[in-house]
């Protein structure tokens, strides 16, 4: 699988795609453990059976109509340099969706993307530190893109872009545009651009 319109140095150049997996986030951690991970690697899935949210919560991806991916970034920088990274990721996602589809989503601090108080997306940021140095980040992003139905447990608190705006979202376009924007900002942040 390749992302069209990708214009990055490393983010998204190596993509692992699954029709179905337990969790894209867990797959990155397995690959780290097995030394099978590369800087900028992305794991994308149509369907997650055990998607991870923050605080050990489950992230629901019941249908093959959503955006679910995780990526690995080598950092080797201080924790201070990465302060606010989750909010920046959320801002990048909102910016990309606004640019592509002319719709405005909002951020519910620290890691949710919402519309009219209903959750549209979430970000899970995990890291490995040694001393005050962050060696790498593992970031998971889930966006309810084209899903129409939600199970009873979450239907009052979650929604999707399609349900709210009646727009069909192109997953590859969103991910490639996100990668282009995030990598540039990330490299500026850690002083490598």
User: Strands (DSSP E) along 53-167, which ranges?
Assistant: 58-61, 67-78, 106-108, 112-115, 118-130, 133-143
Q: What is the mean pLDDT of residues 31-40?
A: 96
Per residue in 127-145, is it b (16+ CB within 10 Å) or e — as a string? eeeeeeebebbbbbbbbbb
Domain spans, the chain: 15-189
- Reported as type and span, the H/E element at residue 137 is strand 133-143
User: 152 — alpha (psi -120 to 50), left (phi > 0) or beta?
Assistant: alpha
| Alpha-helical runs (H) found in 37-84 | none
* pLDDT tops 90 at residue 178: yes
Q: What is the mean pLDDT of residues 38-59?
A: 76
The percent of residues in the chain predicted with pLDDT above 70, rounded, is: 92
Entry field: residues in the chain: 193
Grouping H, G, I as helix, E, B as strand and the rest as coil, residue 5 is coil
Grouping H, G, I as helix, E, B as strand and the rest as coil, residue 4 is coil
* Strand partners for 140: 70, 124
Task: Express each pLDDT in 62-78 by its tens digit.
Answer: 566 789 999 999 998 99
- The confidence score (pLDDT) of residue 62 equals 55
* pLDDT tops 80 at residue 152: no
pLDDT-derived band at 55, boundaries 50, 70, 90 = very low
Distance separating the N- and C-terminal Cα atoms of the chain:
27
- The confidence score (pLDDT) of residue 110 equals 85
pLDDT-derived band at 4, boundaries 50, 70, 90 = confident
Q: What is the mean pLDDT of residues 5-32?
A: 94
The topology (CATH level 3) of 15-189 is BirA Bifunctional Protein; domain 2 (3.30.930)
Q: What is the mean pLDDT of residues 115-123?
A: 93
* pLDDT tops 80 at residue 57: no
């Amino acid at each position: 699988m390749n992302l069209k319109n990708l214009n990055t140095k490393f983010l998204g150049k190596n993509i692992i795609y699954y029709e179905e997996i337990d969790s894209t986030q867990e797959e990155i951690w397995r690959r780290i453990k097995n030394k099978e991970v590369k800087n900028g690697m992305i794991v994308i899935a149509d369907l997650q059976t055990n998607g991870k949210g923050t605080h050990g919560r489950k992230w629901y991806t019941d249908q093959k109509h959503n955006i679910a991916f995780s990526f690995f970034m080598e950092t080797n920088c201080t924790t201070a340099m990465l302060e606010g990274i989750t909010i920046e990721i959320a801002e990048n996602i909102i910016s990309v969706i606004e640019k592509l589809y002319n719709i405005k989503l909002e951020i519910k601090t620290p890691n949710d993307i919402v519309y009219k108080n209903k959750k549209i997306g979430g970000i899970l940021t995990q890291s490995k530190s040694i001393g005050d140095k962050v060696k790498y980040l593992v970031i998971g992003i889930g966006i309810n893109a084209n899903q129409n139905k939600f199970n009873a447990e979450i239907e009052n608190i979650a929604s999707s872009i399609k349900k709210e705006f009646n727009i069909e979202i192109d997953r590859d376009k969103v991910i490639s545009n996100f990668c282009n924007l995030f990598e540039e900002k990330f490299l500026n942040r850690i002083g490598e651009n």
